């Protein structure tokens, strides 16, 4: 895909029907590897045209790190080099790109992100006009709430109640914010830690909370961005 600053790779998956609403899938700190590609394929299985942009392209194109201790260390180092404002800008450009795909019906598209991507998805909802936003355990979200009253699309937040990276009082702030805004939902899996959906990371993955959260996500998308 092309942006005003240059071109970057993006992983695109079409649903079996060949067309549908669009969803931009925003990466976690490990890059666009097997897990993010599988998430895009999972969403395509629900009837969505999905696009996962390589948001590390300004640092080193094509980074896809292993989901182990060494990969986690490098992932933290790489994510520290990422300019959040530029990453949101690239994500907004990805939203425009997916809307322009001929396979996307009606030009409607949302964003869904995990971890780093959860924060960026919320940033896209603040800065742009997605039709829906789904944010999995974005640690930056609590600090962005003061900017978020401009959001006018449905938003779904997922958090783990035992997340060591996001204090529970910050999660409760997001819950209170969602409760005050029509169309927003915040769901906390009480037994889950961080990145519980990531089946490629044994240190994080928790199948039962992941399945519960995914069922909520499917229901939310079916109501707000029906395929």
Q: What is the CATH number of the domain that holds 22?
A: 3.40.50.1820
Among 131, 153, 194, 197, the active-site one is 194
Report yes or no: 139 and 119 within 8 Å, Cβ to Cβ: yes
> Which of 90, 93, 131, 163 is flagged as catalytic?
163
Distances (CA, A) of 152 to 133, 192, 217: 10, 29, 19
pLDDT in tens, 116-167: 999 999 999 999 999 999 999 999 999 999 999 999 999 999 999 999 999 9
Catalytic residue among 54, 115, 131, 158: 115
109 confidence band (pLDDT: 50, 70, 90): very high
pLDDT bracket for residue 98 (50, 70, 90)? very high
Q: Give the domain extent around 109.
A: 2-224
β-pairing, 133-136 vs 155-160, is parallel
194 classed as catalytic: yes
Q: Which two tokens stand for residue 205?
A: 């993955």
Q: pLDDT digit string (tens) for 39-90?
A: 999 999 999 999 999 999 999 999 999 999 999 999 999 999 999 999 999 9
Q: β-strands 184-189, 155-160: how paired?
A: parallel
Structurally, how many domains does the chain consist of? 1
């Amino acid at each position: 895909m092309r942006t005003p600053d240059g071109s970057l790779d993006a992983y695109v998956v079409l649903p079996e029907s060949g067309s549908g609403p669009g969803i931009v899938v925003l990466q976690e700190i490990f890059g666009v590897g097997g897990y993010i590609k599988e998430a895009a394929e999972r969403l395509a299985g629900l009837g969505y045209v999905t696009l996962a942009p390589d948001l590390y392209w300004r640092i080193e194109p094509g980074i896809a790190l292993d989901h182990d201790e060494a990969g986690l260390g490098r992932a933290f180092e790489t994510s520290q080099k990422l300019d959040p404002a530029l990453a949101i800008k690239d994500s907004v450009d990805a939203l425009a790109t997916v809307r322009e795909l001929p396979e996307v019906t009606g030009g409607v598209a949302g964003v869904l992100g995990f971890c780093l991507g959860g924060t960026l998805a919320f940033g896209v909802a603040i800065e742009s006009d997605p039709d829906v936003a789904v944010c999995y355990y974005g640690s930056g979200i609590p600090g962005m709430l003061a900017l978020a009253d401009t959001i006018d699309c449905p938003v779904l937040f997922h958090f783990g109640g035992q997340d060591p990276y996001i204090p529970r009082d910050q999660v409760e702030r997001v819950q209170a914010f969602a409760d005050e805004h029509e169309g927003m939902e915040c769901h906390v899996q009480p037994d889950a830690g961080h990145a519980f959906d990531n089946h490629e990371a044994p240190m994080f993955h928790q199948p039962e909370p992941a399945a519960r959260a995914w069922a909520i996500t499917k229901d939310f998308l079916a109501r707000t961005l029906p395929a």
